[in-house]
Amino acid sequence: MAKYTITATDKVGQTASAEFNIVFSTLTIEVLIPELVLISGTVIGAPFKPVRVLSGKSPFVFSISPALPSGLDFSTNGEITGLPLPATSLLDYVITVTDDSGTALTGNVKIRVLGKPEISSVSPTTGLETGGTEVTITGANFSTTNRLLVDNTAVPFTVVDDSTIKFVTSEHPVGKIGISIATTAGEVSLDNAFEFTPAPPLIESISPREGLDLGGYTVTLTGKRLNTATDVKFGSITAVYTIVNSNTITATVPAHAVGDITVTVINAIGTSNQVGFTYIDSTPVYNISSDPVSGIINEGQAITWTITTRNVPEGTVLYWSLVGGVVAADFVEGITSGSVTINAGRASVKLTATSDQTLDGTENFTFQVRTGDPISGPMQVSAAASILDTSLPPPPIVVTVSPTSVWYKNSQAVTVTGANFTGMSRVVVRDTTVNFQFLSANSIRFTPPGGALGPVNIFLTTPAGTSQKTNAFTYNYRVDGIPSFAPNGITNKFKLTFFDGPPNSDVIFTDLTTSTTFTITLNSEGSGQGDVWLETPIGTHNISITWSDGRIQTYTIEVT
């Protein structure tokens, strides 16, 4: 302990003093000793001091127990010098620090001398370019390996023990490559340590995956290393092929028996993996179905036959015919044979049965399909069908009425054609029943009674019912002398005669094709005559007759 006095003086010279004691004591020693890792064969160029003293009274004296590994010295001032010799195990050492007051403190330290990595062998030294080869590297001092480079590319690895490392190759171009191992103690490389060798081709897909047993068509193989191909086989049969690029081959499929086979590609190294291909029967197949499915229809209904094919070339002509108890008159179309063309593997025929008034029972027949020739060609498929006459035929249908312009006072005969006229019992024109004449099963003629100007409806009645034809014809004024054909030129006049039109009025004849007009004046009885002619162009001329009350009648004349 020592006594001290402190005196303070202000600016005018006044002073004041105070005494106090200071006691000095020795500070406790504190040391910091890390784990030491030294590299074998590396000279410690400058003294290395592994211990830090955080407190205490210097000078300090250092000692270590047991002695350091061979080649290293530990001085009393705590410095390590020397040349670490080959690797040793991790060892525990005790360092003692004594300060000037005699206070001593000990601390544990771990010291490891690491050897630099060494490669002694690589096994195997070759592997396929596809990768997947497990490689074992043997050597020394691998335990702290932190990186493995294969051709300068880091790869995953496994440290088996201090002398063994394993890794699996990835896909790599053909050629020799180097291997490098990096550890905490350093890095070692071995040039030309491993060689990637060529591999057989790889097939990833084949398209299409099936085809006819006749062969002769092309498939496409895709994959890898296909440009090295020396052979392509379908089963055991060699195929003609073309190398498109390293990833594509086209091959002409050889003929083969029906069934599943495998396709392979061969090169100088070996044979590829196998992909499946199916040969299917090339025999043409014809199927037929009907709608309705039963193949039975009532008269007046339709039936559709659908032909589906397999292995039949597109565009093939099929000849169909109805064989048995039917004739053309049994069908609206009036035909019992014809041809269709296969499109997208199918064709269809639709026929509609006609209707009879009498019940004549069932008409059985067969729908047959031939190829090559409609009569002598081979029959490929057939289906049975029937027409059942179990219901009344449908009502009559009007298709045409001629003429469509009729004199309103005393009409000329009118002809009506259509369908389902059999059994017709009554014809009504507007509200008047008229006599009629059958010209054929679907054609009649009658003379209308005349009536007011304007459109006329007719009604046809059969056992199946009554049908109405609206605006079947029109009651018009009478015009005589309009020909169907007329010669060209002004010298070839023709005379028109008009009856029962509006009295003391004009009628205008217009050639709509050339915009030529003629005016004819009617007398007090509404009658009159006039000459007209048609000029070029030669061909069809559309004609209109316009009466003074606005009524228009139209005609066509062919100019020759």
CATH classification of the domain holding 345: 2.60.40.2030
Q: Provide the pLDDT for residue 201.
A: 96
Q: Provide the pLDDT for residue 129.
A: 93
Q: Which CATH number covers residue 87?
A: 2.60.40.10
Q: How far apart are CA 133 and CA 120, in angstroms?
A: 19
**388, 407, 425 - which closes a domain:** 388
- Looking at the domain assignment, is residue 101 inside a domain? yes
Q: How far apart are CA 54 and CA 31, in angstroms?
A: 6
Residues 261 and 328 reside in one and the same domain: no
Q: Give the angle subtended at the CA of 301 by the CAs of 295 and 303, to the nearest 5°.
A: 35
Residues 384 and 310 reside in one and the same domain: yes
- Looking at the domain assignment, is residue 306 inside a domain? yes
Residues 303 and 371 reside in one and the same domain: yes
Residues 162 and 190 reside in one and the same domain: yes
Residues 104 and 134 reside in one and the same domain: no
Strand partners, 196: 127, 175
Question: Structural domain tally of the chain?
Answer: 6
Q: How far apart are CA 399 and CA 421, in angstroms?
A: 11
Record the pTM: 0.46
- Looking at the domain assignment, is residue 2 inside a domain? no
Mean pLDDT per 10-residue segment, the chain (560 residues): 69 73 49 65 70 78 84 83 70 83 80 85 96 96 94 96 96 95 93 96 96 95 96 96 97 96 95 96 93 80 92 93 89 92 94 68 88 94 84 79 88 89 91 93 92 93 88 91 84 87 94 92 93 87 93 89
Under 8 Å CB-to-CB from 376, ≥6 apart: which residues? none
Pairing of strands 432-434, 436-440: unpaired
Buried b or exposed e, range 355-382, using 16+ CB within 10 angstroms:
bbeeeeeebebbbbbbbeebeeeeebbb
DSSP state of 12: T
Q: Which domain holds residue 302?
A: 285-388
CA proximity to 368, closest of 352, 384, 353? 384
Residues 248 and 295 reside in one and the same domain: no
Residues 229 and 253 reside in one and the same domain: yes
- Looking at the domain assignment, is residue 14 inside a domain? no
Residues 483 and 466 reside in one and the same domain: no
Q: Provide the pLDDT for residue 20.
A: 61
| Residues 424/396, Cβ–Cβ less than 8 Å | yes
Residues 470 and 482 reside in one and the same domain: no
Instruction: With residue 115 as reference, give the H or E element that holds it.
Output: none
Q: Give the angle subtended at the CA of 265 by the CAs of 264 and 267, to the nearest 5°.
A: 140
Q: Token match 């202000």: residue?
A: 10
Handedness of CA 471, 477, 481, 487 (dihedral sign): negative
* Cα Rg of the chain (Å, integer): 58
Tokens representing residue 56 in the block: 């205490």
Under 8 Å CB-to-CB from 277, ≥6 apart: which residues? 206, 209, 210, 211, 219, 234, 253, 260, 261, 262, 263
**177, 197, 217 - which closes a domain:** 197
- Looking at the domain assignment, is residue 518 inside a domain? yes
- Looking at the domain assignment, is residue 7 inside a domain? no
CA proximity to 94, closest of 31, 41, 37, 45? 31
| Residues 395/465, Cβ–Cβ less than 8 Å | yes
CA proximity to 80, closest of 60, 107, 62? 62
**446, 476, 506 - which closes a domain:** 476
Residues 426 and 456 reside in one and the same domain: yes
Residues 373 and 411 reside in one and the same domain: no
Residues 449 and 509 reside in one and the same domain: no
- Looking at the domain assignment, is residue 20 inside a domain? no
- Looking at the domain assignment, is residue 489 inside a domain? yes
| Residues 32/52, Cβ–Cβ less than 8 Å | yes
